[in-house]
Structure 1
Amino acid sequence: MSVRVRRVYDDPEPADGLRVLVDRLWPRGVSKDAAHVDEWPKGLTPSAELRRWYHAGEGSYEEFAARYEDELAAPGAAELLDGLRESVREGPVTLLTSAKDPGRSHAAVLVRLLEEA
């Protein structure tokens, strides 16, 4: 099982495997051709309300992660997460994000949940 996080602005690598964009909005300045995105499951991304709350600095990363996990437990998101888990079992998966600090973003939460399964 291999899952990793990379910034969508980084050049694709052969080891990326399935490239999954995990941001709700398309990243600025990146063409769809240049991004080499295989999947874009918007239902796996944090809600607009949660993103605004976190980026406004109103809470800690730990609280953001807990709230995001609650959102991922909803039926539609849970189904998408299960599908991504299956993809990870089949081969390498790279989660793509435009976050400046992927290690303290929703992508890191997804990696943890995928590795726990």
Structure 2
Amino acid sequence: MKQPHRIQCKRVYDGVEKSDGHRVLVDRVWPRGIKKETLQADEWRKELSPSSELRKWFNHDPQRWAAFYQKFHAELEQQGEAVESVLKGANGGTLTLLYAAKDTEHNNAVALKMYLEKQ
């Protein structure tokens, strides 16, 4: 399998760029105020987002970040096919993980990127 040469995270409210490559929304809930046409995502992979319980527990609290991403990575271990599929989708190019959270350092897309880069 051809790994993406680059994985990046980007807020759904930021503009689309040619360099984004394969754009994948990785939030469980559709982002507020965004039309499907505006987002221009190649896929929406809810199964690559944290469970509702974990998302609510984390509540974007930086104090819980380390525990959150470790628990999320454990959940991702159960999503082998989805993980492989999203990596394949980039076809050796750039994979852009789209998210809606305001915090650009502590969110599920960043945690997912960390996980994917270890694969």
Structure 1 length-normalised TM: 0.90
Partner residue, 1:6:
10
82-91 vs 8-17, greater mean Cα deviation: 82-91
- Mapped to 1, the partners of 2:77 and 2:49 lie a distance apart of 12
Q: Give the percent of matched residue pairs that are identical in Structure 1 and Structure 2.
A: 39
Structure 1 vs Structure 2 CA RMSD: 1.5
Please list every run of 5 or more consecutive structure 1 residues that lacks an aligned counterpart in the other structure: none
Distance 2:95 2:117 in 1: 12
In structure 2, the residue matched to 1:100 is 102
Question: What is the aligned counterpart of 1:114 among 103, 113, 116?
Answer: 116
One-letter code aligned to 2:33? G
Which residue of structure 2 aligns with residue 64 of structure 1?
68
The equivalences for 1:14-29 within 5 A come to: 14-29=18-33
* SS of structure 1 residue aligned to 2:43: coil
Query: Which residue matches 2:38?
Result: 34
Aligned residues: 114
User: What are structure 2's unaligned runs of at least 5 residues?
Assistant: none
What is the one-letter code of the residue matched to 1:93?
A: L
Give yes or no for contact 2:60–2:107 (8 Å, CA) kept in 1: no
Provide the C-alpha distance between the structure 2 equivalents of 1:94 and 1:36, rounded to a whole number of angstroms.
12
Find the aligned partners of 1:93 and 1:27 in 2 and give their Cα distance. Answer: 19
Match of 2:77 in 1: 73
